[in-house]
Structure 1
Amino acid sequence: MRRVREPQQDRSRLTRQRLLEATVDCLAELGWSATTVAVVAKRAGVSRGATQHHFPTREDLITASLDYMFDSRMESVRLEATGLPPGPGRTEAVVSRLVDHYTGTLFKAALQVWTAAAADPVLRARVLPLEDKFGRVAHRTTVALLGVDEGDPVAHRWVQLTLDLARGLGLADVLTDDSVRRAEIVRQWAATLEMVLEQPALGATQRS
């Protein structure tokens, strides 16, 4: 029986994906300094030459990994929220999923890169466009999940406050397990957010 060969394009795509995922894992577990091309290649099971074929520099590899994983995570958040019914409980579920994003592996990896970029002007120039993109997409996704009118300044402000809260909770979780306190904060914030979003002036679309 002849073995069916995997198309070169598919192998290349899978290799690239393994490298991107391994980079994020290394950043979150080992930190910025230890996440070298050689370390990532070994974890991904890819030769160093093949790694550099896809990503010529370490910075190319790291920024591409953050971009890829952020897009994947935001898509996951959207899909998870698709089945959520309108009404009580939806707001808390949305807030909880956003907080999960900011306390997950991707956020810990990104934090390593942001910290390094603060002292490296060249890296900062590459990271700032990513940060701008992350902020825009996260805000737009949250608006859609909560079903509010983006044109309403109050809704806009509360969505941004929710994202700022989620990021702060992510920072609090970096050094110690903050899950118990975080769960209570999510419940309290969601209850307050629910009351604000129920105000007629906000023109909710999914909440009616």
Structure 2
Amino acid sequence: MGGVSTADRAGRVPKQDRSRATRQRLLEAAVACLAAHGWAGSTVSVVAERAGVSRGAAQHHFPTREDLFTAAVEYVAEERTNALRALFPDGAGAHDRRAVVAALVDLYTGPLFRAALHLWVAASNEEQLRPRVTELELRVGRDSHRIAVELLGADESRPGVRETVQGFLDMARGLGLANLLTDDTARRERVVAQWADLLDDALS
């Protein structure tokens, strides 16, 4: 009788692993390119070279440039979300609020935010890219809001609490923008401390 032999199955697993590893390298290279060079300087060829794979291999995983870059930002957004949850694996209490505020603000600084910003700018001019990025940002925004509510211990059934949490996230995004041009660490630390106090008053 026909079928897949044990040897065939054993040979297939490493191939699948290699495929996953190649895909991950491409995603990470795409985010790094987007953060460093912007949309105009981040072609599939440039990303493939940075990832150490052929252009054909890149297109096998991501047929279009839009596929590659929206998948890349989504991938790293998920990684950052996982990292944030790992900081507070058992949840967070009121005594952790300043640490939670600082960790959430960190989501809006660094290469992910820089790459996402380039993607937003490109999407404003690229008709094919805009609906993908809009959908992605809505999903990332919902996830960020949900995590913030959980970690801050916010009761959204109370009037104004949802808007307070959303206002904080909007502020964090603004801090991320300020950090793009200069190192805004010192001012950011003071703002984080103030927002932690404001959230304590608003959420307690």
Match of 1:51 in 2: 58
Deviations 1:84-111 (A, max 9, x none): 75233x1111110111110121110000
1:158 maps to which of 164, 170, 176:
164
Equivalences for residues 20-169 of structure 1 within 5 A: 20-82=27-89, 86-88=93-95, 90-169=96-175
Which residue of structure 2 aligns with residue 197 of structure 1? 203
Q: RMSD of aligned C-alpha atoms?
A: 1.5
Instruction: Please list the CA deviations of residues 123-148 of structure 1 after superposition, one character each: whole Å capped at 9, or x if unmatched.
Output: 11221100110111110010111122
Query: How far apart, CA to CA, are the structure 2 residues paired with 1:181 and 1:83?
Result: 30
**Matched residues in 2 for 1:156 and 1:136: separation?**
12
TM-score, L = length of structure 1: 0.89
Between the aligned residues of both structures, percent identity stands at 54
Cα distance in 2 for residues equivalent to 1:169 and 1:63: 23
Offset at residue 78 of structure 1 (A)? 1.1
Equivalent AA in structure 2 for residue 97 of structure 1: A
Q: Quote the residue 2:7 is aligned against.
A: none
- Report the counterpart of residue 186 of structure 1 in structure 2: 192
Show structure 1 runs of 4+ deviating over 6 A: none
In the alignment, what sits opposite 1:202?
Answer: none
AA aligned opposite 1:150 = E
Cα separation, 1, equivalents of 2:146 and 2:196: 18
Separation in structure 1 between the aligned mates of residue 31 and residue 119 of structure 2, nearest angstrom: 10
Alpha-carbon distance between aligned partners in 2 of 1:139 and 1:106, rounded to the nearest angstrom: 17
Alignment gaps of 5+ in structure 1? 199-208
